[in-house]
Structure 1
Amino acid sequence: MSGRILAVDPGEKRIGLAISDETACIANPLGVVTHTARDADAQTVAQIAAENQAARIIVGQALDASGEVGPAARKAQRFADALRLHTDLPVELWDESGSTKAAQSARREMGVSRKKRSGHLDDLAAAIILQTYLDAKHD
């Protein structure tokens, strides 16, 4: 697999973004987009994918504890569907379970102060989602 991959962590208030390097081995946080409306958000993410020369887009999908599709996962599916209307790039759903907790742990391990740690974790969570995807695809 080669080419940059954009990961999207869709949330209620913010959308976290991460991008891989050109070899699709390393994920890096890219930033956060404030949620407005599904179609507008999809258009913004498609534009960011184009600006970053992404070859593929991964959308984080939170499955429930039994691995089933719940309300949050359905929202991610609808966002992925909207995104497909704004780009010709492949759009793939990827299990994001535990990414926010992993982002919180990573911030704590990096020595980020409790006050700063309470800020948004969305782009770091997107990077964790992307790194799990990249690791799985390279195995």
Structure 2
Amino acid sequence: MSETSQRPRVLFVCKSNRGKSQMAEALLRQVAGEAVEVRSAGTQPALGKSPNAESVASLAEIGADMSGAVAEPVDDDVLRHADRVVVLGTAARLGRIDGMRADIEVWDTDEPSERGIEGAERMALIRDDIAARVRALWAELARDQ
């Protein structure tokens, strides 16, 4: 945990910051509330664009909300101060920078489209995979507080 904050700081990263990383951010907010500082970003974000509509709808089904989010780039200052940095999927590439305290974790998330699964079914599988990982992360962070 960071020295300047009682709350752990978590950064989720994906390539576009319009789907998986935004989903992880919203899911962690749903389970942890204000007990954690959470952000998301993209290595090649669609700047200012809203999240993928299918992602938003899939999260709404379980009461999580990412509808007001917009795609943002990875910020070096946020990287340096994060206690946990999680890259979702294999499309995003992120390297360490000077001053980072966290290791970079990679969650090789399920990609149902590789098996021909699309639409709402695809998003539900991605959501459930990320949600399980987020719950495990939150259990670990809560235990360490």
Question: What TM-score does the superposition give when structure 1 sets the normalisation length?
Answer: 0.38
Compute the TM-score of the two structures, normalised by the length of structure 2: 0.37
